[in-house]
Amino acid sequence: MRKVGDVGVARKAIVSGGSIGGLFAANMLRNAGWDVTLLERTGVELSGRGAGIVTHDLLNALIVKAGATLDDLGVKVEKRVAFDLDGNAVRTIDYPQVVTSWDRVHSLLRALMPEGTYRLGVTATGYRDLGDRVVLDTAEEGPMEADILVGADGFRSAVRATMLPEIQPRFAGYVVWRALAHEKDLPEDVRRDVFEHFGFFVPAGTQIIGYPIAGPGNDLRPGHRRYNFVWYAPVNGSGLDDMLTDASGTRHDLSIPPPLVRKEVLDQMQAFAAAHLPKPFLEILARSERPFFTPIYDHCSPVFAKGRVALSGDAACVARPHIGMGVTKAACDAEALARHLGKGDDVVASLQAYSAERVPQSRTAHEMAQELGRLIFDKPAGGENRDGRSHPDIEWIMAKTAVVPA
Ligand SMILES: Cc1cc2nc3c(=O)[nH]c(=O)nc-3n(C[C@H](O)[C@H](O)[C@H](O)COP(=O)(O)OP(=O)(O)OC[C@H]3O[C@@H](n4cnc5c(N)ncnc54)[C@H](O)[C@@H]3O)c2cc1C
């Protein structure tokens, strides 16, 4: 039987985390000749989950490089339009962009994994780097050995907790509410004036973006699509404690499963929306499937590798969603990882080179996203901007949101 470190056989990689970052890493490493096993703690397929994500040329190129197709990737929007509180378009810029769904990208990459290499229901709990190999400890299957370990296990990464225990995600002071509404359920004027665009509402203290995505089953036909509603709303520390507490009184750590969000929390959200959001977006919210919220956290690790272990995607660095780079950044990490590991036999040196390349690039995205987040709360000098017409940086926000930073 092949042992880790044997000469002349494919080197073995374990990837922890079976979301998009883990799938990019696993497929890129397989394409570079590695024998890859991917472990996902969730016991059932992740398909059918998530909401909208934006694409960039860079992401498209990496989807193809991973081995997938761009057929039916998503919906093309041509313009970005900012609306005011009365629902009038107040700024328009041309920015053609394909918007897709988390589920579409995940299923394209998931389909590339050979039988038996994507293992559900296996939870990483920590690792030991033994110098000539790395041992991953798992809750269900005990220790597993490999030449390298990739922690693609998200912003609360167990792999990062062993590598860099001092790095903890920080709450940014606001949450994002997301919801999906079926195109066919929307009033005619909303379908005509709002649905087709990448929409914005940019008052002081809160912000909406939204865009059309495919309907269930990646249905791209007009009339069968959905609107992806994304709304950033401020929350103070004790407010977040309350939002994360379920009806049984249990306070959830960092995030709460959508079905456990209490009715009072949803009612408060609806009341805040009614007082602050434009009519077309209220129409969309009213026709949405159950809205869910995610607190905004971020972090960025100072190194993305130590010894035989690398971090990728959100485990390595979270750029807040304003920049729309979560999936693209994870794909870039995976490409760089496989490229450096393909250059020679010294995996530790290759992982150091990977880290040296990706830390500064990720930090640029992380900082740009923080700046976009900070601007949500900016007011015009001497004004209030409750109507979304006079944000001092509205053009800059529209031009930089969900765009790869230079
Ligand atoms: C189900 C799901 C839906 C999402 N939907 C959207 C969306 O609609 N829009 C958007 O912009 N972003 C979405 N995201 C986030 C987006 O995937 C990430 O921001 C980005 O793609 C980087 O992904 P990642 O793979 O690095 O991290 P994540 O997507 O966070 O994935 C981490 C994965 O690791 C698994 N995991 C965690 N801990 C362990 C462990 N100890 N052992 C084994 N596995 C572990 C998790 O279950 C998860 O599948 C979603 C993530 C998930 C998991």
Summarised one tens digit per residue, pLDDT across range 132-174 is 999 999 999 999 999 999 999 999 999 999 999 999 999 999 9
Instruction: Please name the residue ranges forming H helices in 194-325.
Output: 237-243, 263-276, 279-286
Identify the three-state secondary structure at position 159: helix
Pairing mode, strands 89-101 and 12-16: unpaired
Neighbouring-strand partners of residue 171? 297
Please state the separation of Cα 83 from the chain's center in Å: 25
Q: To which H or E segment does residue 8 belong?
A: none
The arithmetic mean of pLDDT across residues 65-88, rounded, is 95
Of 52 and 79, the structure prediction assigns the larger pLDDT to: 79
Residue 48: pLDDT over 90: no
Tell me if 19 CB under 6 Å of ligand 1: yes
Rounded to whole angstroms, the Cα distance separating 213 from 106 reads: 15
Tell me if 40 CB under 6 Å of ligand 1: yes
Summarised one tens digit per residue, pLDDT across range 275-312 is 999 999 999 999 998 899 999 999 999 999 999 999 99
Rounded to whole angstroms, the Cα distance separating 16 from 151 reads: 5
| Nearest ligand 1 atom to alpha carbon 327 | 21
Residue 76: pLDDT over 50: yes
pLDDT at residue 344 in the model: 81
pLDDT-derived band of residue 406, with 50, 70 and 90 as boundaries?
A: confident
The arithmetic mean of pLDDT across residues 48-74, rounded, is 92
pLDDT-derived band of residue 343, with 50, 70 and 90 as boundaries?
A: confident
Tell me if 14 CB under 6 Å of ligand 1: no
Q: To which H or E segment does residue 198 belong?
A: strand 198-201
Tell me if 298 CB under 6 Å of ligand 1: no
The arithmetic mean of pLDDT across residues 115-122, rounded, is 97
DSSP state, 9?
S
pLDDT at residue 236 in the model: 79
Neighbouring-strand partners of residue 118? 38
- Residue % of the chain over a pLDDT of 90: 89
Rounded to whole angstroms, the Cα distance separating 315 from 309 reads: 12
Tell me if 124 CB under 6 Å of ligand 1: yes
From 20, 56, 311, mutation site for ligand 1 pocket: most ligand atoms within 8 A of C-beta? 20
DSSP percent split of the chain into helix, strand, coil, nearest 5: 35, 30, 40
Computed on alpha carbons and rounded to an integer, the radius of gyration of the chain in Å comes to 22
The arithmetic mean of pLDDT across residues 55-77, rounded, is 95
Q: How many other C-beta atoms are found inside a 10 Å radius of the C-beta of residue 242?
A: 14
pLDDT at residue 134 in the model: 98
From 14, 19, 104, mutation site for ligand 1 pocket: most ligand atoms within 8 A of C-beta? 19
Residue 98: pLDDT over 50: yes
C-alpha of residue 156 to centroid of ligand 1, in Å: 10
C-alpha of residue 69 to centroid of ligand 1, in Å: 21
Summarised one tens digit per residue, pLDDT across range 230-285 is 999 999 778 999 999 999 999 998 889 999 999 999 999 999 999 999 999 999 99
| Nearest ligand 1 atom to alpha carbon 101 | 8
Residue 378: pLDDT over 90: no
Tell me if 51 CB under 6 Å of ligand 1: yes
Tell me if 286 CB under 6 Å of ligand 1: no
Tell me if 324 CB under 6 Å of ligand 1: no
Place of tokens 């990448």: 198
Average pLDDT over the chain, rounded to an integer: 94
Tell me if 21 CB under 6 Å of ligand 1: yes
Tell me if 16 CB under 6 Å of ligand 1: yes
Residue 8: pLDDT over 60: no
pLDDT at residue 3 in the model: 59
Backbone angles phi, psi at 27, to 5 degrees: -70, -40
DSSP state, 195?
I
C-alpha of residue 120 to centroid of ligand 1, in Å: 14
C-alpha of residue 392 to centroid of ligand 1, in Å: 34
Tell me if 334 CB under 6 Å of ligand 1: no
Place of tokens 């390349």: 357
C-alpha of residue 26 to centroid of ligand 1, in Å: 14
pLDDT at residue 384 in the model: 87
C-alpha of residue 106 to centroid of ligand 1, in Å: 10
The arithmetic mean of pLDDT across residues 219-233, rounded, is 95
Tell me if 321 CB under 6 Å of ligand 1: yes
- Tell me how long the chain is: 406
pLDDT at residue 1 in the model: 38
pLDDT-derived band of residue 79, with 50, 70 and 90 as boundaries?
A: very high
Class of residue 182 by CB neighbours under 10 A (exposed 0-12, middle 13-18, buried 19+): middle
Summarised one tens digit per residue, pLDDT across range 346-358 is 999 999 999 999 9
Residue 6: pLDDT over 70: no
pLDDT-derived band of residue 201, with 50, 70 and 90 as boundaries?
A: very high
pLDDT at residue 217 in the model: 87
